[in-house]
Chain A
Amino acid sequence: NAGVTQTPKFRILKIGQSMTLQCTQDMNHNYMYWYRQDPGMGLKLIYYSVGAGITDKGEVPNGYNVSRSTTEDFPLRLELAAPSQTSVYFCASSPREAGTEAFFGQGTRLTVV
């Protein structure tokens, strides 16, 4: 019962570098999400996907890209990292029905210096 798995758990990037945050789920959920959480703040939706090949922007998509080639995987790409992207990133997935509960991965703590 792995659920939602994120890698890496921690990462330090230099300004201008790029990286991919990996997310995979083994629950056969169609819906997947990327959120970021800044200290003392709630979760902000970056991108979401309602199925393989379908992605859409959330509240704060600038500086990020996603792809969804399989049901299981939903990687988040950061291009040209900036200090404002220092945050904790959570990947989540939901069952087939929209508006149902989201199950979260353990998070990736990213620092951009």
Chain B
Amino acid sequence: QKEVEQNSGPLSVPEGAIASLNCTYSDRGSQSFFWYRQYSGKSPELIMFIYSNGDKEDGRFTAQLNKASQYVSLLIRDSQPSDSATYLCAPANQAGTALIFGKGTTLSVSS
């Protein structure tokens, strides 16, 4: 059983701070990694993906990947109250046929 581990939180940060969300995965064959945001009662929506080791930046979001350590993270700079949601880490399985989701980390940004 391939597993994806995330700290469930809640992670509480003040508005304007950096939020750091972490994820470890067990499938060494995973080659692509996705971060989804899910607001309460809504469906997940993609915010970032990363395929190569290192950092990838998109606006206020930065994804970091270290395949040797089987670790992927998401940094949110200048956090806003609208960022308050659950963030789901989702590596693709080794075959690349499906995403395997973690339980998610709940982020709360206070104004």
Q: Write the residues of chain A forming the contact surface with B, with a CB cutoff of 8 angstroms.
A: 31, 33, 35, 40-45, 48, 50, 56, 58-59, 90, 98-107
Contacts and interface: CB of A to CB of B under 8 A. Distances in A.
Contact of A99 (B1, B92, B101, B102): B92
Interface stretch (B12-20, B44-52, B70-78): B44-52
Contacts of A99: 31-32, 92, 96-97
9 shortest interchain CB distances as A-B pairs: A98-B96, A99-B96, A99-B92, A104-B43, A42-B103, A42-B101, A43-B101, A99-B32, A101-B46
Chain B contact residues: helix, strand, loop or mixed: loop
Interface in B13-35: 31-32, 34
B97 A90 contact: no
B11 interface: no
Most chain A CB within 10 A, of B8, B90, B96, B102, is at B96
Contact of B44 (A31, A100, A104): A104
Classify chain B: how many residues form its interface, as a range.
20 to 34
A42 B88 contact: yes
Contacts of A50: 97
A48 B44 CA distance: 17
Contact of A42 (B34, B95, B96, B104): B104
A103 B43 CA distance: 9
B100 interface: yes
Given A99-B96, A101-B49, A104-B43, 18 more contacts: A31-B98, A33-B98, A35-B101, A40-B8, A40-B103, A42-B6, A42-B104, A43-B44, A56-B97, A59-B100, A90-B44, A98-B92, A99-B31, A99-B97, A100-B32, A102-B90, A106-B43, A107-B42
